[in-house]
Each structure stands twice: as C-alpha cells, then as structure tokens.
Amino acid sequence: MRASLFYGSRGRRFRDEETVYAGDGIPRAVTRLEEIARQLAASKAVIGEPPRSAKGAVAVILRGRAAVEALVIERSEREGDPWSGQLAFPGGRRSRGDRTLLDTVRRETKEEVGLSLSRNARLLGWLPARAPGNRVEWVVVPFVFALTRAARLAPGPEVARALWVPLDEMPSSLHRAVIELPGGDLEVPAFLVGGMPLWGFSFRVLCDLFDLVGWPGETARRKPEPKARRITRSR
C-alpha cells in the first residue's frame, strides 16, 4: 500500500529568528558549483535568450560551503496570493519600472529577502522559461546566481522564512505529495524541504536545473523515481 504526504492549504508559522543568518565568510565554491557554472554557460546557445515577453523572473541563488546550497523561501499567508504559504524561489512579476528581467529579479529579491544580487552575487545563467500551472499566461524566467560574498538575509513581509537547503540532497526526498486545495486534493511530485513540499513551478525549475547539470548521487543522470513517505506534522 502506497503512502503519501498530506499538506493543508495553510503552512506552519516560524519565529522570525529562524530567517536570519550570520554573515560569516563564504569559502571558495566547491567543485559542484563550478560544474554548474560551466554547464549553464555552455547551455546558453541551446536555451537561447530569455523571452522579452516574459511576465516575471525568479532567482535560484546558490552558495558554496561544505556543499552547494540553494536559497528557498516560504511565502507568507496572504489573501489574493495564488502561492500563499508555499515554498518558492525569490522573485515576482515584472513592473513598469523594470527595464529588463534582471532588473525584476534583482528588485524582487531585495524586497523579499533583503539580498542585493548586484553586490553579493554573480549571474551564472538562466533556465528555460516556464509558466506556473495556475497562471499559464505568465511566462517566468529562472535566473541562476552564485553568492560571491557573505550576506545577511532580512525577509520582508511577503516571506515567512528563508532557508538555505543542500541542493544535492533534495532529490533523495522526492515523493508524491497530496496538496489540499479549494477545488479538491491534488497529488503532485515534490521535494521535501524544511518539513514542507516544494512542488509545482519551483519543483519543475529544480528538475530543469538537475537535468542540465546532472542529478546527484548516482552516475546515471536521469531523474529518480518518486518514492512515497508519510510524516506527522503538527497543525
């Protein structure tokens, strides 16, 4: 009998102290981060330039410590936000004042987690543009950055918490999650991050990244099969 993870439409609340990280020195990027940078640079000709018609952008921000880590945020619960309470990457919709999509992702990242990408990170490349399942008319470009200097995160009101997650550990948590939505339950593939499912658009962005730079662990670079898990969460 297959077990699945069940998640409510509202996530857990966390104390503000959990969203602040010390600004200690970041050592030289590990081999994995250098490999990611090379693969992204080589893929530009295949992926092509980000579409100018894109409505928004997100930032996949990586840093190299003992292992490569990715920055993930939990969005605050807000009425009218189609991604309220979900895990995501910093980013958002393009505004009239943004000359380019890079302006969009830099502005949104600064607003959401207090991180200046212009000062603290370098652009490695971008992934194929995608549209969220609940906003198919919004084409969004995922940009990949590498942190170049220590930075302290200061989440804004739109973010409940921000956390650094070991990038290559996420595929081992691949599972089928059942998401409770107003229209009924939805079973989706997801990674388990911080006790919550990372699914939907953000999940597909990570799969695109792994497909490009290689799935970790085994020598075969194919996506692992989702495995079922059951956990108990306090509500």
Which is higher by pLDDT, 220 or 138?
138
Residue 126 above 70 pLDDT? yes
Q: Residue 156 has what pLDDT?
A: 94
Report the DSSP pairing between strands 87-88 and 91-93: unpaired
Residue 48: how many CB atoms within 10 A of its CB? 11
Q: Residue 166 has what pLDDT?
A: 93
**Predicted confidence band at 233 (pLDDT cuts at 50, 70, 90)?**
very low
pLDDT tens digits, one per residue of 193-222: 999 999 999 999 999 999 998 888 643 344
For the record, the structure tokens of 77 come out as: 């619960």
Q: How far apart are the first and last CA of the chain?
A: 25
Q: What is the pTM of this model?
A: 0.80
Q: Residue 42 has what pLDDT?
A: 93
Structural domains of the chain ordered from first start:
16-167 (3.90.79.10)
| Spatial contact of 8 and 181, defined as CB atoms under 8 Å apart | no
Residues 6 or more apart in contact with residue 121 via CB below 8 angstroms: 61, 115, 145, 146, 147, 148
Which is higher by pLDDT, 223 or 95?
95
Question: The tokens 């059942």 sit on which residue?
Answer: 178
Give the Cα-Cα-Cα angle 23, 85, 33 (nearest 5 degrees): 40
Q: Residue 49 has what pLDDT?
A: 93
